[in-house]
Amino acid sequence: MTEEKAAPASGSILVVGGGISGLTTALEAAEVGYEVFLVEKNPYLGGRVAQLNQYFPKLCPPTCGLEINFRRIKDNPRVKVFTLAEVEKVSGTPGNYEVTIKINPRYVNEKCTCCGDCAQACQKEIDSDYDFGMKKIKGAYLPFEMAFPSRFVISPEIIGTDDAQRCKDACKYDAVDLDMKAKTMNFSVGSIVWATGWQPYDATRIENLGFGQYPNIITNMMMERLAAPNGPTRGKILRPADQKEPESIAFVQCAGSRDENHLPYCSYICCMASLKQATYVRERYPEAKIYVFYIDLRTPGYRYEKFYEKIKEDENIFLIKGKVAEVSEDTTTKNITVVAENAVTGEKIHQTVEMVVLATGMQPTTAAAKLPADLTYNDDGFIINDVASGGMFGAGCANKPADVVSSNQNATGMALKAIQTLVKR
Ligand SMILES: Cc1cc2nc3c(=O)[nH]c(=O)nc-3n(C[C@H](O)[C@H](O)[C@H](O)COP(=O)(O)OP(=O)(O)OC[C@H]3O[C@@H](n4cnc5c(N)ncnc54)[C@H](O)[C@@H]3O)c2cc1C
Ligand code: SF4
Ligand code: SF4
């Protein structure tokens, strides 16, 4: 490449969403020389991956991969991170966008050493969204041990109360600032990548599967938190009704997905997620019996197929081709009976287990709330990329249901598309 033909590394890119996809887009673009603004609505980066216990197929803790990305961000002055932030307005055309961002107050400044004294002093407890309400946390909290930025947050729920003052009084470092206000900032950027990710499908809407009615029916994301060492049970998988170690568990596949009444598409990851979670159970309870009820088991690609082959060999794991039609609870034992028709033998199955995990699917966050920009969505709310017009692109699970590897590949591609918009200006 001659000097004249080399792309100029100038211009800025806005990346919205600091999950694994947004982190990837931001870093790939910044590491070739572009300035990137990374806007995340949570008080921490990492998105849903930060809530997982282990990654399939390697079964390593996701904090490893996230840590590497956080280090790359710390080492790269071209990435400017804004947490507790959301885009309010976008105007302009590819190459020339004006963006307004609202940054909500954290009430804790950069002097925070994470000593935890404010949390000790705070009396009010709030539900932990990170743990899907299965744990209470103090009104002053660190989202999780490895959180980036590594800084406490004071919940708006305690602002204006004695507890807020107690937090301020307890802080030896003058890091609590109760007068912090929301502020808006304006940026000029050339391209925007929307990596706004997914949310778990609301399982209470699948009425025949009993979530919200029977305590021993949980979702797959709740299972990730139960199995995680930093979760509500410190990694012990216990059934919610009585904290008993379950001796039998049923996984209900396609809970909401591939169903015209809910999510008409395949969520892509929930077969692999259940097979992975079966290994969580088997590790902790070698005698436990696991029943996986599925329509099809979708484990695409060589590595996932190998994972599935290995699980199939386990004599305590029973893979049953049959869609679960209903569930019921024994009011005394709190056990759950799952009813399905075996699609191979035609036999009607009534399987009683101590706990049920619903393999709920992924819904784009944009299904519920559209973004303040001129974007096109499909019927399910995923962003459709108009690569020819350029300028704005959806990446990762904002674009389609995906695992981490595919999200990263897609996010890298979108970094390139964002750069091409700047170069073409
Ligand atoms: C039960 C379960 C287990 C899984 N296990 C695995 C596994 O083992 N291996 C694997 O490869 N994949 C796994 N996955 C899939 C994995 O979670 C996704 O591939 C991954 O989360 C996709 O990352 P993302 O960045 O696209 O989205 P997200 O993780 O959802 O990140 C999106 C980010 O954008 C932020 N955001 C959203 N809207 C806005 C907005 N308007 N403004 C600012 N910020 C916003 C969110 O707060 C979030 O931080 C699993 C999925 C499930 C359901
Ligand atoms: S805000 Fe102050 S008291 Fe709370 S963790 Fe940070 S330094 Fe410690
Ligand atoms: S990945 Fe499996 S459980 Fe999830 S929707 Fe597709 S087939 Fe159903």
Q: Indicate the SS3 state at residue 302.
A: helix
State residue 335's pLDDT score: 98
Q: Is the CB of 117 under 6 A from ligand 2?
A: yes
Question: Phi and psi of 163, rounded to 5°?
Answer: -60, -40
Distances (CA, A) of 44 to 49, 148, 151: 12, 5, 9
Q: For residue 62, how far is its CA from the centre of ligand 3 (angstroms)?
A: 22
What is the reported pTM?
Answer: 0.96
Q: Indicate the SS3 state at residue 202.
A: coil
Average pLDDT, integer, range 226-244: 97
Q: Which amino acid, one-letter code, is at 277? A: Q
Ligand sitting nearest the alpha carbon of 299: 3
Please identify which residue in the block is written with the tokens 């802080």.
171
Q: Is the CB of 28 under 6 A from ligand 1?
A: no
Please identify which residue in the block is written with the tokens 């436990």.
288
Asked if 35 and 419 count as a contact pair (C-beta separation under 8 A), the reply is no
Q: Indicate the SS3 state at residue 192.
A: strand
Q: For residue 363, how far is its CA from the centre of ligand 3 (angstroms)?
A: 13
Alpha-carbon dihedral angle through residues 128, 130, 131, 137, given to the nearest 10 degrees: -30
| pLDDT digits 0-9 by tens, 309-341 | 999 999 999 999 999 999 999 999 999 999 999
| pLDDT digits 0-9 by tens, 49-106 | 999 999 999 999 998 889 999 999 999 999 999 999 999 999 999 999 999 999 999 9
What distance in Å separates the CA atoms of residue 85 and residue 183, rounded to the nearest whole number? 9
Contacts of 351 (CB under 8 A, 6+ apart): 250, 291, 337, 338, 340
* Band (358; pLDDT cuts 50, 70, 90): very high
With a cut of 80, say whether residue 9 has pLDDT above it: no
Q: Is the CB of 115 under 6 A from ligand 2?
A: yes
With a cut of 80, say whether residue 3 has pLDDT above it: no
- Counting residues of the chain whose pLDDT is more than 90, the rounded percentage is 95
| pLDDT digits 0-9 by tens, 255-271 | 999 999 999 999 999 99
Q: Indicate the SS3 state at residue 377.
A: strand
With a cut of 90, say whether residue 189 has pLDDT above it: yes
Ligand sitting nearest the alpha carbon of 102: 1
For the record, the structure tokens of 247 come out as 């001796």
